[in-house]
Amino acid sequence: METSILIARILGPLYLVSGFAWLFNRDAYGKMMNDFTQQRGLLYVSAVLAFLFGAVILAFHNVWTANWQVLITLLGFLGLLKGLTLLVFPEMAMRMASALIANQRLTGALFALVFVMGGILVWFGYLA
């Protein structure tokens, strides 16, 4: 449980602020996402960080319980999958990112999901 709370305290504010910041800086975030699809070096660094994030989370927190802690494990697997996809299929990942940028409704939904996930993690990390 202590590991879950520690990870929630780290990721919760990051996700909460990221989702909130997108609301006020949509143009800036759109430009950043567009840069991501244009620069292969940035793609590689992102891939390595996502893979590392997922691997570290799963190394310390591979918990399959029927409560909020499973969200952290799922985030670890998503990070690992994202990093693996970016490393193995970079061109496909760049095309998918471009399609995501073009669909502002989907982009907004994803940032809303990030915000909600941050709120859940902040709740369980600090308040519950």
User: Does the pLDDT at position 4 exceed 90?
Assistant: yes
pLDDT of residue 71 exceeding 80 = yes
Sign of CA dihedral 93, 97, 98, 100: positive
Q: pTM (2 decimals)? A: 0.89
For the four alpha carbons of 5, 7, 13 and 15, in that order, the dihedral sign comes to: negative
| Tokens 């292969």 sit on residue | 40
Range of lowest pLDDT (35-39, 63-67, 68-72): 35-39
Instruction: Please give the pLDDT value at position 93.
Output: 86
Q: Is the pLDDT of residue 101 over 90?
A: no
pLDDT of residue 69: 96
pLDDT at residue 82, as a whole number: 93
Q: What angle do CA 72, 45, 106 make, to 5 degrees?
A: 60
Domain boundaries, the chain: 2-123
The pair phi, psi for residue 75, each rounded to 5°, is: -65, -35
10: left (phi over 0), alpha (psi -120 to 50) or beta: alpha
Distance from the Cα of residue 10 to its chain's centroid? 13
Res 121: pLDDT:
97
- Say how far apart CA 67 and CA 74 lie, in whole Å: 12
Per-residue confidence band for 114, with pLDDT thresholds at 50, 70 and 90 = very high
- The per-residue pLDDT of the chain, averaged, comes to 92
Percent residues over pLDDT 70 in the chain? 100
**What average pLDDT does this structure show over 55-80?**
96
Answer whether residue 1 shows pLDDT above 80. no
